[in-house]
């Protein structure tokens, strides 16, 4: 094996060469590439998961359906698709705090969170989060889970895509779903951060 680490320029040239051959074979077109990029830059992102969480916080019957079958419940809001064909929501409670990871590659629920941030796909997070999750949360995310609360890490080894339903913060009684959704961060649905703080 020759372990050569390529520069950005070398990768860019390799990719353009590969792209040119796939285009000539009819496998890709620049139009289809641009559309795919546009979807994940501007259409599919964590604002969709936030909408689901806010509805679950506001509507107990929807929440029951979401916890029972997340993929079907999300379809009610028009949310579904690639890399989230079979989703499962894990609910944070006073006793359990959930975190997701894919230690074997980079699996992530695209339809509700978009494409994963690089740290989620990097070796460091994947190596450490099952072994010392509290230390990772504290060192890299400035986030502490009380010792009385169980930290439960979900390693997405199959095609089931887990994501976290965070707890509704206090002081939000009577808030609209739109206003609640603004509190829901991407990190809170991965489990590495809190929902946004409510000014008291």
Partner 1 sequence: MNGVFDLAGTDGIGPVIVPEHEPVFRAAWEKAVFPMFAMCFRAGFFGVDEFRHGIELIDPAVYLKSPYYEHWVHTVEHFGEKLGKLDMAELDRRTAHYLAKPEAPLPQHQDDPELLAFVEAVVPVGATAKRESDKAARFKVGDIVRVDRSAPKGHTRRARYIRGAVGEVVLAHGTFIYPDTAGNGLGEHPEHVYTVRFTNEELWGAEHAEPNGSVCFDVWDPYIELAGPAAANAEGAVA
Name the residues annotated as catalytic: 102, 105-107
Which residue lies nearer to partner 1 by CB, 29 or 176?
A: 29
In angstroms, rounded to a whole number, what is the distance separating the alpha carbons of residues 156 and 162?
Answer: 7
Contact set for partner 1, span 49-78 (CB under 8 A)? none
- Residue 99, SS3 per DSSP: strand
Which residue lies nearer to partner 1 by CB, 104 or 196?
A: 104
Q: Which residues of 25-45 are buried (b: 16+ CB within 10 A; e: fewer)?
A: eeebeeeeeeeeeeeeeeebb
Candidate residues 8, 60, 173, 174; the one interacting with partner 1 per rule CB under 8 A = 8
- Asked if residue 127 binds partner 1 (CB under 8 A), the reply is yes
The separation between CA 12 and the C-alpha centre of its own chain, rounded to angstroms, equals 27
Which residue lies nearer to partner 1 by CB, 58 or 128?
A: 128
- Write out the E strands in the chain: 86-91, 96-101, 150-155, 160-165
Contact set for partner 1, span 85-114 (CB under 8 A)? 85-86, 88, 103-106, 111, 114
Candidate residues 37, 64, 196, 198; the one interacting with partner 1 per rule CB under 8 A = 37
- Asked if residue 185 binds partner 1 (CB under 8 A), the reply is no
């Amino acid at each position: 094996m020759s372990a050569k680490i390529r520069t950005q320029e070398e990768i860019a040239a390799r990719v353009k060469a590969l792209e040119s051959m796939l285009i000539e074979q009819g496998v890709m077109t620049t139009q289809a590439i641009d559309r795919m990029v546009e979807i994940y830059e501007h259409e599919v992102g964590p604002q969709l998961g936030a909408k689901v969480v806010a509805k679950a916080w506001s509507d107990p019957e929807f929440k029951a359906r979401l916890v029972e079958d997340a993929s079907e419940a999300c379809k009610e809001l028009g949310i579904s698709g690639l890399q989230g064909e079979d989703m499962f929501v894990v609910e944070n409670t006073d006793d359990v705090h959930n975190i997701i990871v894919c230690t074997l590659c980079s699996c992530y629920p695209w339809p509700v969170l978009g494409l994963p941030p690089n740290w989620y796909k990097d070796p460091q997070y994947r190596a450490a989060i099952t072994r010392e999750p509290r230390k990772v949360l504290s060192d890299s995310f400035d986030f502490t889970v009380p010792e009385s609360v169980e930290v439960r890490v979900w390693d997405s080894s199959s095609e089931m895509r887990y994501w976290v339903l965070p707890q509704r913060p206090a002081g939000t009684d009577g808030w609209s779903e739109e206003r609640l959704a603004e509190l829901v961060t991407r990190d809170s649905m991965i489990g590495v951060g809190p929902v946004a703080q409510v000014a008291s």
